[in-house]
Amino acid sequence: MKLAVVTAGLSVPSSSRLLADRLAAATVAASSSPVSVSVVELRDIALDVTKNLLTGFPSPALRSAIASVVDADALVVVTPVFTAGYSGLFKSFFDVLDADSLAGKPVLLGATGGTERHSLVLDYQLRPLFGYLKADPVATGVYAASSDWGSGEGALQRRIEKAGAELASLAAGRPALAQEPAFVPFEQLLAGAGE
């Protein structure tokens, strides 16, 4: 399996890159087949992304990054949260991809931020973005706030391992891990009411 990791962290070291590396490692550990991992650091190609938006012509470095993502069997994507949303660089990179280039591709969504209050970015911004791109996000997204690093890492690591197992399973074409249904149809609730 070819796994592409896209991270939009701006600093060195970056908590976004740290989370991305750990999500990739969990996916590799859960995979039943060999996995090759390629990492796309958007910070390194930020000017290339901007120039492509302005001109429509990708540089060789951007062309290589796009190929890594498009040719991968699965993706891990991680963005820092800025002003209650994904980073502009993160969004701009996915804006330069062809509209159908991620169709059906399994994706593990991740984000980092200073406070737990921004954790909804996974469901209210990243999921709709990758839904529009016709990708197939796994059920478990991983958000890591500053408090998750250090003393809070046990719970974070459990979320990372669960999400990595879901991505490995989806990429291998196996059915998703068994979970309780999130939604029970009203008719089903009524049918059980007389018991």
Taking only the tens place, the pLDDT of each residue in 18-73 is 999 999 999 999 999 999 999 999 999 999 999 999 999 999 999 999 999 999 99
Please state, in angstroms and rounded to a whole number, the distance separating the CA atoms of residues 23 and 151: 19
Tokens 């069997």 belong to residue: 73
Tens-place pLDDT, residues 118-149 = 999 999 999 999 999 999 999 999 999 998 88
- Reduce the DSSP state of residue 182 to 3 states and report it: coil
Query: Lowest-pLDDT range, 47-51, 137-141, 161-165, 180-184?
Result: 180-184
pLDDT of residue 3: 98
pLDDT of residue 83: 87
Q: Using pLDDT thresholds of 50, 70 and 90, give the confidence band for residue 80.
A: very high
Tens-place pLDDT, residues 8-21 = 999 988 999 999 99
- Phi, psi torsion values for 104, nearest 5 degrees: 75, 0
Which amino acid does the sequence have at 109?
Answer: L
Residue pair 129/91 in contact (Cβ under 8 Å)? The answer is yes
How many Cα atoms sit within 13 Å of 49 on the Cβ side?
20
State how far the alpha carbon of 145 is from the alpha carbons of 24, 120, 142, 151, 155, in Å: 19, 12, 10, 12, 12
Q: Per the structure block, which two tokens stand in for 141?
A: 């997204």
To the nearest 10°, report the CA torsion of 15, 21, 26, 30: 160
